[in-house]
Amino acid sequence: MPSTMMDLPLNVNALLRHGRTVHHDGLVLTYHGPGDIREATFAEVANQADRLAGALHRLGIQSGDRVGTFMWNHDAHMAAYLAIPCMGAVLHTLNIRLFPEQLAYVINHAADRVILVDGSIAPLLAKVRDQLTTVEHIVVRGAGDTSGLGHTLDYDELINAEETGFDYPEPDERSAAAMCYTSGTTGNPKGVAYSHRSTFLHSIATHSAQTLQFSQKERVLLIVPQFHANAWGMPYGAWSVGTDLVMPQQFLQAGPLAEVIKETRPTISGAVPTVLNDILHNAPDADLSSLRYIVCGGSAVPRALIEGYRSNFDVDIVQAWGMTETSPLAAVGWPPRGVAREDDIDVRVKTGRIVAGTEVRICNDAGSPLPWDGQAQGEIEIRGPWITGSYHLDPTEEKFHDGWLRTGDVGSIDTDGFIQISDRAKDVIKSGGEWISSVDLENVLMGHEAIKEAAVVAVPDDRWDERPLACVVLQEGADQPSTEALNDYLTGRVAKWWIPERWTFIEEVPKTSVGKFDKKVLRRQHADGELVVVARDS
């Protein structure tokens, strides 16, 4: 029997119309440096989007064309988030921290025709300008050194010449609205094209009390960059329900962030563990009292960080899991009913609980699903309307299994649908045929008072095939503990056979373009003999 419901497209245009009218007084606050916070209402940002759509149209952008953004988080980037998909084009957020060869690769692979760039980072784009084969126009916003970019257009001049009230088309809900490349920890980055429909559904999902709890009462500080998996879907989620957005631009260090929080008093924030760790250690006196919670993910969130925020700032951290391919919300770890706040850290250290709208399972090496008993470990697979079903012009059949995306993450699921990731498949340490979770070891090590960061990687071992090498960064001013003392510390906290024999003390853990521990670099440094390894007698 056919349904009798209206078949209107689920597109970003519907979100734009809703945000600009119903939530016209929502605010986008952009931080420009000490004491300089500029406000734009949602109605003003929507008008700016209209003008931008007009300017891009005049430059020849048509339905389906890709428009890149090479920008920090700010109001103009939000306007681009709205204008580009709503005019039927595809927003391609470029990661400003990619290595030049990867940046050139993703721009050419996506065939971007126009790029909007912040003047302050124009030199980063200039490095690859002569390798770009499809870019016709570079539009520069704000002051900066644009030499090396060739002919450029001025953003303000372009949009000031346009009127508000652009005549938007009504894009098909299955057409691409935006795209984002994975950070390419192995091989070339892969392109994920989000549809209007997936963006619409994911945005509505952010309003749930089980996910980000966005509502018109909230104000979110967007620390996670708009070029990283669409800032975890927060800009569209916030826009569609009137949550104020606070945009810190390039001011992402502990001190400026503390000031932004004090001045704008956000109720929610989202960031990767490295940034939160930086605030905890370098701005311990910050006033975070406005924050109801901080959503943290992108890599495992150490217990010490969750406890540190609770005891030092009285702020709750909620862990989430997802990836570029999952839009990215897939699991969010709100403690279930019946768990009191004073007892909830054991829940918060879990990776997260499966979000409604997605389905998750774990499979063994033979591809058979495993039970949800909190014990069985397998590769996590996921499917749902905001999970990618293929990569842009990149046939990678091995990433899919019977219509499920293979995430490359290994973990367990418990009877309540809480996921616990133990590792990325490529980071697992196989010692004597048994798995050691590098993530668990890192978490425990980062609970040691002298340790600021710890990354554990597999290194070859004659007897056990692989053993863990613990790469440790000490807290400022801390004395280096002996390997015996570290052994004693780990005893009882992890299985005895997990305890590393090999240790190295380093200045900093190398990070990827999105701020994650870059274990590939550590493994290479170890193979090249660049790390001074202290061995404990085993």
Binding-site ranges for ligand ADP (CB under 6 A) = 182-183, 185, 229, 297-301, 319, 321, 323-324, 351, 407-409, 421, 424, 514, 516
Least Å distance, CB 440 to ligand ADP, is: 11
Least Å distance, CB 516 to ligand ADP, is: 6
CB-wise, 233 or 297, nearer to ligand ADP? 297
φ, ψ of residue 256 to 5 degrees: the values are -60, -40
Least Å distance, CB 63 to ligand ADP, is: 28
CB-wise, 185 or 215, nearer to ligand ADP? 185
The residue annotated as part of the active site, out of 134, 185, 435, 520, is: 435
185 labelled catalytic: no
The residue annotated as part of the active site, out of 173, 218, 259, 325, is: 325
Least Å distance, CB 255 to ligand ADP, is: 26
Q: In which region does residue 34 sit, left (phi positive, over 0), alpha (psi from -120 to 50) or beta (all else)?
A: beta
Least Å distance, CB 512 to ligand ADP, is: 6
Environment class of residue 194 by beta-carbon count within 10 Å: exposed (0-12), middle (13-18) or buried (19+)? buried
Expressed in percent and rounded to 5, the helix, strand and coil fractions of the chain are: 30, 25, 45
CB-wise, 113 or 516, nearer to ligand ADP? 516
Closest CA to 116 of 47, 57, 70: 70
Distance CA 48, CA 447 (A): 47
The residue annotated as part of the active site, out of 146, 182, 211, 358, is: 182
Considering only the C-alpha atoms of the chain, give the largest distance between any 2 of them, rounded to a whole number of Å: 73
3-state DSSP of 233-247: CHHHHHHCCCCEEEE
CB-wise, 79 or 305, nearer to ligand ADP? 305
452 labelled catalytic: no
CB-wise, 242 or 302, nearer to ligand ADP? 302
CB-wise, 409 or 466, nearer to ligand ADP? 409
The residue annotated as part of the active site, out of 396, 430, 434, 530, is: 430
> For strand 27-31 and strand 244-247, is the pairing parallel, antiparallel, or unpaired?
parallel
Contacts of 116 (CB under 8 A, 6+ apart): 67, 68, 69, 70, 71, 76, 80, 139, 141, 155
CB-wise, 26 or 328, nearer to ligand ADP? 328
Least Å distance, CB 205 to ligand ADP, is: 17
- Are 335 and 348 contacting, i.e. CB atoms less than 8 angstroms apart? yes
Distance CA 306, CA 283 (A): 16
Helix axes 438-445, 483-490, angle to 10 degrees: 110
CB-wise, 260 or 323, nearer to ligand ADP? 323
Contacts of 240 (CB under 8 A, 6+ apart): 15, 18, 19, 203, 204, 207
- CA triple 404-408-411, angle to 5 deg: 95
Which string of DSSP letters, residue by residue, matches 343-377? G-HHHHTS-EEEPTT-EEEEE-TTS-B---SS---
Distance CA 82, CA 184 (A): 27
Distance CA 508, CA 9 (A): 48
69 labelled catalytic: no
398 labelled catalytic: no
Catalytic positions: 182, 325, 430, 435
